[in-house]
């Protein structure tokens, strides 16, 4: 239990790929009274567009030349380039794209290699159990991604005769969990469809290239960025172009300290030009279209800040604070007949947060509950579950472990209880099992639970 006592608060760092999609309103036939169609929205000012075909050609060429020289060797790129079967190729790209959402490349590589070794085809994945998928996914976070990937593979096998849809439109329409970004990435990389992609890296690069300072998470801006990505994508090498744009965002045009001096497209970058030649910004700034009210310029109240340079772009509305949740969790420990420690874990329901994963017996706590009361409700919970008396004072308080999910600030209040007698669990309760520490780590447990046991992530 010494590891338990050393458990400390911590959080996950994630800065991987963020898929972005906006369905948008139909612009055609919008006729509020069934009569004259509503006028089309005015095009954005030229400052924010790529309207010169020669410039688009030059940008494509420079970006692809740079990508050919500087791209990172990644296992999914190798598979996409060498796999002759289009279904296997699309599957290989699909797995990588799902894993890369919200997760860094360096973390994904090992997971990806193990996944592809275990399930090299859609057919193999479709036969896996959710338990196996969760076990392999454990530690990668956002567990519903693995589950949905497996569900979608079953659909391809059972309803589409094992053949992946061949266009971005069909991929998005037919596969659960495949949004506009993932569909565009699979179709362009696997099939060579000339369709753009917009993820977090692309948003940053495009907003800087065209000085887009309006809220980059707003539907209006996202729609414009999709239009731009579709216009820019290279017609003969769409997959490489999309990967090049994302690679630029991941390695050169990074969020905090972009390497503009090394950037292959700096000559086309309006933020970079403005940084070099800009001047302290009056309001409204003549370089912000000079009109005020431009839907893509920074808001007048937050004009260009010369101390930020190109990192003036992109801008986002303030994030909603994650919801605070407290959960009491108890590490029940016993000695096996060989003298080794064993811990009891229970399985979470198959829907909702951390679906199907295993955890120490846990109980959500009401806000503001005092420590003494927390201990009591946890003891009551364990008592009902184990069908034997559990004294609140027998629970040993270990500490608190904080884990940040995307929308939840989760605090686990950790207790332990050593058992020296046989325990019969209520058969109506969730599935449970005793595991050694080694078995615990090989099980489908979340990173948060590993923190609770005080193990390294």
Least separation in angstroms between CB 257 and ligand SF4? 10
> Looking at 20, 271, 390, 417, which residue binds ligand SF4 (CB under 6 A)?
271
Q: Which is nearer to ligand SF4, 138 or 253 (CB)?
A: 253
| Closest by Cα among 396, 344, 403 to 139 | 403
Instruction: Give me the catalytic one of 55, 57, 83, 97.
Output: 97
Q: Is there binding between residue 225 and ligand SF4 (CB under 6 A)?
A: no
What's the per-residue H, E or C state across the chain? CHHHHCCCCCCCCCCCECECCCCCCCCCCCCCCCCCCCCCCCCCCHHHCCCCHHHHHHHHHHHHHHHHHHCCCCHHHHHHHHCCCHHHHHHHHHHHHHHHECCCHHHHHHHHHHHHHHCCCHHHHHCCCHHHHHHHHCCCCCCHHHHHHHHHHHHHHHHCCCCCCCCHHHHHHHCCCCCHHHHHHHHHHHHCCCCCCCEHHHHHHHHHHCCCCCECCCHHHHHHHHHHHHHHCCCCCHHHHHHHHHHHHHHCCCCCCCCHHHCCCHHHCHHHHHHHHCCCCCCCCCCCCCCCCCCCCCCCCCCCCCCCHHHHCCECCCCCCCEEEEEEEEEEEEECCCCCEEEEEEECCCCCCCCCCEECCEEEECCCCCHHHHHHHHHHHHHHHHCCCCCHHHCEEEEEEEEECCCEEEEEEEEEEECCCCCCCCCCCCCEEEECHHHHHHCCECHHHHHHCCCCC
Q: Which stretch binds ligand SF4 (CB under 6 A): 103-111, 166-174, 204-212, 405-413?
A: 204-212
The residue from 48, 145, 147, 266 that contacts ligand SF4 (CB under 6 A) is: 266
Shortest gap between Cβ of 29 and ligand SF4 (angstroms)? 37
Check if 97 is active-site: yes
Residue 208 binds to ligand SF4 (criterion: CB under 6 A): yes
Task: Find the shortest distance in angstroms from Cβ 313 to ligand SF4.
Answer: 8
Answer for which of 92, 93, 310, 332 binds ligand SF4 (CB under 6 A) is: 310
Number of residues that bind ligand SF4 (CB under 6 A): 14
Q: Which is nearer to ligand SF4, 66 or 94 (CB)?
A: 66
Among the listed residues 175, 207, 263, 401, the single contact to ligand SF4 using CB under 6 A: 263
Residues 272-301 that bind ligand SF4 (CB under 6 A): 272
Question: Is the separation of the CB atoms in 443 and 138 below 8 Å?
Answer: yes
Work out whether 260 is an interface residue with ligand SF4 (CB under 6 A): yes
Stretch that binds ligand SF4, among 113-121, 179-187, 255-263, 370-378 (CB under 6 A): 255-263
- Using CB under 6 A, pick the residue from 252, 357, 379, 449 that binds ligand SF4: 252
Confirm or reject binding of residue 269 to ligand SF4 (CB under 6 A): yes
- Residue identified by tokens 């919801």 is 323
Residue 154: CB minimum distance to ligand SF4, A: 41
Closest to ligand SF4 by CB, 209 or 401 = 209
Q: Of 57-65, 268-276, 350-358, 387-395, which part binds ligand SF4 (CB under 6 A)?
A: 268-276
133 contributes a contact to ligand SF4 by CB under 6 A: no
Q: Does residue 229 belong to the site contacting ligand SF4 (CB under 6 A)?
A: no
Minimum Å gap between C-beta 201 and ligand SF4 is: 10
Is 265 an interacting residue with respect to ligand SF4 (CB under 6 A)?
Answer: yes
Kindly list the residues in this chain that would bind ligand SF4 in the complex (CB under 6 A).
205, 208-209, 252-253, 258, 260, 263, 265-266, 269, 271-272, 310
Give catalytic residues, as residue numbers.
97
């Amino acid at each position: 239990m010494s590891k338990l006592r050393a458990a400390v608060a911590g959080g996950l760092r994630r800065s991987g790929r963020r898929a972005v999609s906006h369905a948008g309103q139909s612009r055609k036939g919008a006729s509020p009274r069934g009569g004259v169609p509503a006028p089309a929205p005015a095009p954005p000012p030229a400052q924010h567009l790529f309207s010169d075909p020669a410039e688009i050609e030059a940008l494509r060429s420079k970006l692809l030349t740079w990508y050919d020289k500087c791209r990172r060797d990644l296992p999914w790129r190798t598979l996409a380039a060498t796999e002759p079967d289009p279904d296997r190729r699309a599957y290989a790209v699909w797995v990588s794209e799902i894993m890369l959402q919200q997760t860094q490349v360096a973390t994904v590589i090992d997971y990806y290699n193990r996944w592809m070794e275990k399930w090299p085809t859609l057919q193999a994945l479709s036969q896996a159990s959710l338990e196996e998928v969760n076990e392999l996914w454990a530690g990668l976070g956002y567990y519903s991604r693995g589950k949905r990937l497996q569900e979608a593979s079953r659909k391809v096998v059972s309803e589409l005769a094992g053949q992946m849809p061949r266009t971005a439109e069909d991929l998005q329409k037919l596969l659960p969990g495949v949004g506009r970004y993932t569909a565009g990435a699979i179709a362009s990389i696997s099939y060579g469809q000339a369709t753009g992609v917009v993820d977090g890296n692309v948003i940053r690069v495009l907003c800087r290239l065209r000085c887009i300072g309006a809220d980059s998470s707003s539907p209006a801006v996202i729609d414009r960025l999709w239009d731009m990505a579709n216009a820019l994508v290279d017609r003969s090498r769409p997959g490489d172009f999309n990967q090049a744009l994302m690679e630029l965002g991941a390695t050169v045009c990074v969020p905090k300290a972009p390497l503009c001096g090394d950037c292959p497209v700096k000559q086309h970058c309006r933020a970079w030009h403005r940084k070099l030649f800009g001047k302290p910004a009056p309001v409204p700034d003549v370089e912000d279209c000079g009109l005020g009210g431009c839907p893509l310029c920074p808001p007048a109240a937050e004009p260009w800040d010369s101390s930020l340079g190109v990192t003036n772009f992109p801008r986002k509305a303030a994030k909603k604070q994650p919801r605070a949740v407290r959960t009491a969790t108890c590490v029940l420990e016993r000695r096996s007949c060989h003298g080794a420690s064993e811990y009891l874990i229970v399985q979470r329901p198959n829907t909702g947060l951390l679906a199907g994963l295993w955890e120490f017996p846990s109980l959500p706590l009401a806000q503001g509950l005092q420590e003494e009361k927390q201990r009591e409700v946890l003891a009551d919970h364990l008592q009902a579950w184990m069908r034997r008396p559990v004294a609140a004072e027998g629970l040993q308080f270990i500490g608190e472990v904080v884990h940040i999910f995307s929308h939840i600030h989760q605090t686990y209040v950790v207790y332990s209880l050593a058992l020296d007698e046989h325990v019969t669990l209520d058969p109506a309760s969730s599935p449970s099992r005793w595991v050694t520490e080694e078995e615990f780590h090989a099980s489908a447990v979340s990173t948060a639970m590993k923190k609770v046991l005080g193990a390294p992530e």
